[in-house]
Amino acid sequence: MKNYEMYVNGKWIKARSGATREIRDPANGELIARVPESTREDAAAAIDAARAAFDKGPWRATNAQDRGKLLFKLADAIRKEAKIFAELETRNCGKPLAESEFDVADAANCFEFYGGLATKIHGETMQVPANSLSFVLREPVGVCGQIIPWNYPLLMCAWKLAPAIAAGCTTVLKPSELTPLTALELARLIEACEFPAGVINILTGPGAGAGEELAMSSKVDKVAFTGGTVTGRKVMESATSNLKKISLELGGKNPNIVFADADFESAVDGALFGAFANQGEVCSAGSRLLVEESIHRKLVDAMVKKVPRIKLGHGLTPGVKMGPLVSAAHREKVESYIRIGVQEGAKLVCGGKRPEGKDLAGGNFLEPTIFDDVKPAMRIAREEIFGPVLSVIPFKNEEDAIRIANDSEYGLAAGVWTLNINRGLRVIKQLRAGITWINTYHPTFNEMPWGGYKQSGTGRELGLYGIEAYLETKQVNVSLDEAPIGWY
């Protein structure tokens, strides 16, 4: 068990109140750490540190090459401790080790990607109808408040911090109060890599308090939030205090569409992986499986037959494919949706309960759950459950599939399975979603934009688009006329 402190202004500090939070392994309830429980006062102090670093410190004079070198250095440091980070990630949030290992590698790649992009920020010159040299500069937004969720703790740190630092901003990052450990270990590496004090501040604590201060403070120029849509609305409302820039990556109820001409075995695997990877605790999970009527029954039967291969257990146990849900409270929420599905008349074909076995009794485990014959109007087909619950909806034809897929307040992700590439592209173009796949599901690339339509958020992360969120655009005009304008 380790006692952590927060990282603010280049120093390790406790919460001003002295309060702490216990962090327990969701697979067995073991106490693994204590972290400070910050308040709005702690957040305000961290914001002041970031403000001073941006306005008065040496950071504004740090050139793009040096910012990139710092990000490269951090990427290398993560790779050197990849095993430590992966194991801690699994113990903190429950996911299988293989998934944590992938996330850690991807986080390092993300810092490296933006390290290279730091020197590729450019403006432009324009021909204007005057004797003027007119050009555009791209400058950092300023102080950024960044609030991340509990399902991909380290990776979300990278998604937020890397573009902000590449752009020249300073940040206060608040990880989820449930999964702060790899963020704090990352702060240790940030200190070792000699980032200037105040440039990156990592604050632990709940959204009520510290998170609210980040969203409301007039000293914060931008807030970036990843999490639930309900909380996202509150962040957006709070951000109006000084009309700060905002980017939101929110929830999803994503359609994964399987046509009869799809490669059957690939579709079965893709449907299960889309729904149950990371315990289904993924905003882009393919939690609505739309299946063409002619193969509907065959596909459901094949999935049910394959579900027993999804081994449940502690994520550090070899062969485990699904770990526990992040907390007991979250498991209860997911179970409430399973009860709702039964009450609504959907057919529960597998799962739906807590698994048996003494090795699983102490953790927040839940069986992979599949509902069949789900109607599009049912709550389990419309509301984000954020757990291992798949709703199967049959459809008649292409037009029917598109109608059902788009009948949602969300628009984050979508998948299409078909061997007819013309159909695949035709359908994808009609789906109201920001992240889409054909004959695969879930691959994410640092080079490509991430974000959704409708109530799945605003703005984009990753790729060239991700750094745009941290840049201001400045117009500069230099008169080449030496004589007065003669207006008066």
The SS3 call for residue 84 is: helix
Query: What are the CA-CA distances from residue 110 to residues 73, 152, 214, 279, 444 (Å)?
Result: 12, 14, 24, 23, 11
415 pairs with which residues across the strands? 256, 437
Q: Which of these, 38, 47, 32, 31, lies nearest to 13 by C-alpha position?
A: 38
How far apart, in whole angstroms, are the C-alpha atoms of residue 98 and residue 336? 29
User: Which among 110, 144, 169, 283 is annotated as catalytic?
Assistant: 283
Query: What are the CA-CA distances from residue 369 to residues 304, 315, 340, 350, 356 (Å)?
Result: 9, 19, 13, 5, 15
Query: What are the CA-CA distances from residue 94 to residues 97, 150, 205, 351, 442 (Å)?
Result: 9, 10, 20, 19, 19
Cβ-contact 31, 24 below 8 angstroms: yes
Q: Return all residues near 293 (Cβ < 8 A) that are at least 6 apart.
A: 394, 395, 396
Helices (H), 286-412: 293-306, 328-344, 379-382, 398-406
How far apart, in whole angstroms, are the C-alpha atoms of residue 363 and residue 449? 35
Cβ-contact 40, 340 below 8 angstroms: no
Joined tokens for residue 183: 């963020």
User: Which among 37, 185, 249, 281 is annotated as catalytic?
Assistant: 249
How far apart, in whole angstroms, are the C-alpha atoms of residue 139 and residue 120? 13
Joined tokens for residue 485: 């304008």
Helices (H), 217-308: 229-239, 264-276, 293-306
Joined tokens for residue 480: 């080449």
**Catalytic-residue membership of 249:** yes
How far apart, in whole angstroms, are the C-alpha atoms of residue 444 and residue 465? 14
**Catalytic-residue membership of 112:** no
Q: What angle do CA 111, 113, 118 make, to 5 degrees?
A: 90
Cβ-contact 348, 369 below 8 angstroms: yes
Instruction: Tell me the catalytic residues.
Output: 249, 283
